[in-house]
Copies of this chain bind each other. A is one copy, B any other.
Amino acid sequence: MEIQLWREILDPYALAVDELIVKFNHIIREYRHLYGYSPIEQVTGRVKTISSILEKAQKKNIPLEQIEDKIDDIAGIRIICQFVEDIYKVADIIRNRSDMIIKNEIDYIENMKKSGYRSYHITVFYDVETLKGTKRLQVEIQIRTLAMNFWATIEHSLQYKYKQNMPEHIRERLTSAAEAILILDREMSVIRDEIMDAQSSFTIKANM
């Protein structure tokens, strides 16, 4: 496929990512203004690179003309939360919006992947306006704590390096890191109310 064609396909996804980052950042602002505390800590987004799309298509035997249908993370949004509880709050916020239609949800926190991966995934349909009219796209939203994100980022690059052959001693380290993160997230959850309350007075002071 030519670069010009790829651009026509991927541009709307880039628009969707930009719009959604603006929208989620505004949710942060709205929460902080109203309650001094936001369940969302940070938002990032990306469009999959052409080479990653091709790799995934090949691996999963997806013909080129079905790429947009079958690959649901061409546009990806990542939402970082402070606490595990906030993740479910964010999922609720997304469910209640009229501009995103839920396609499906997977809870890898309750059901951790055997690699140790934990995150909450929501795939939504989202409409963007192009020169050729409205286009409905799929966007994958990953919701995680900061600690889960730290682990996932490292695991992702190791996965990428070793493919199916990750050495045992590395896999073990990743597992004990995943456990340390689980403990960390739990300790934080226990004092969540105190932290939220402290941060809320902090924010209010900063706004004065």
Contacts and interface: CB of A to CB of B under 8 A. Distances in A.
Interface residues of A, number: 63
The interface residues of chain A, by DSSP majority, are classed as helix
Given A176-B187, A180-B180, A199-B157, A26 B33 contact: no
A150 B146 contact: yes
Given A7-B33, A131-B31, A154-B195, A177 B187 contact: yes
Interface string A180-195: 1101100110110011
Interface string A39-52: 00000000001010
12 contacts: A11-B33, A18-B22, A19-B22, A19-B23, A30-B130, A98-B129, A147-B184, A157-B198, A160-B202, A161-B197, A176-B183, A180-B184
Interface in A54-79: none
A157 B34 CA distance: 19
**How many subunits of this chain does the assembly comprise?**
4
Contacts of A18: 22, 26
A124 to B, nearest CB: 13
A173 B185 CA distance: 11
